[in-house]
Amino acid sequence: MPEDDKPDDETSLFKRAVPGVRPIAQDRKPPSKKRPKPIPRKTIEDNQAVMQSLLSDEWEPGEVESGEELSFCRSGLQRSAFKKLRTGKFVVEGELDLHGQTVAEAREHIAGFIHEAQMRGLRCVRIIHGKGLTSPNKLPVLKNKVNHWLQQKDEVLAFCSAQPVDGGTGAVYVLLKKK
């Protein structure tokens, strides 16, 4: 005897308990579109806050002038690698142009650009900050900020002003840690 025909199975007991009951006809259609995945707004906000906090303006090295070269190298980097960076011998694999951006926009773009470049396995990138010739008092605001911010990024092994053909003192080559 199959299980469904057993008098003690749950279906039989239910049918005996509610005799004469019929299912209700339904005219509604099930939803045809899949609901979009929820946007993790809080996670996005938290990630942006972390990126902002990684580049602070609280401490700044001495300000540099428009034509002054930038140069920074972490301890442990081989001299030959830094010399290769300074002479423009590394292949520039990515570029970020900050012209026309505010300090806040530039901070956010640099943090995202450096993170993305390292995730993609890029080794050398160029950041164009400009010389500040159109800034008030002809002071290079972004150049000073870039100098300050890049020194705070652990992903940055070294950076220096670019060769004249690549922007000179209005741009920097940035050497990134391997992922």
Per-position pLDDT tens, the chain of length 179? 455 555 568 888 888 888 888 778 777 777 677 777 888 888 777 777 666 555 555 545 556 655 688 999 999 999 999 999 999 999 999 999 999 888 899 999 999 999 999 999 999 999 999 887 777 666 778 888 999 999 998 899 999 999 999 999 999 999 999 87
Cβ distance 103 to 142 under 8 Å?
yes
Please give the pLDDT value at position 59.
45
Q: How far apart are CA 24 and CA 21, in angstroms?
A: 9
pTM: 0.64
Tokens 């012209």 map to which residue?
99
- For residue 178, give the DSSP letter: P
Judging by beta carbons within 10 Å of its beta carbon (0-12, 13-18, 19+), is residue 50 exposed, middle or buried? exposed
Q: Is the CATH code 3.10.180.10 the one for domain 69-176?
A: no
The secondary element (H helix, E strand) that includes residue 16 is helix 10-17
pLDDT of residue 50: 63
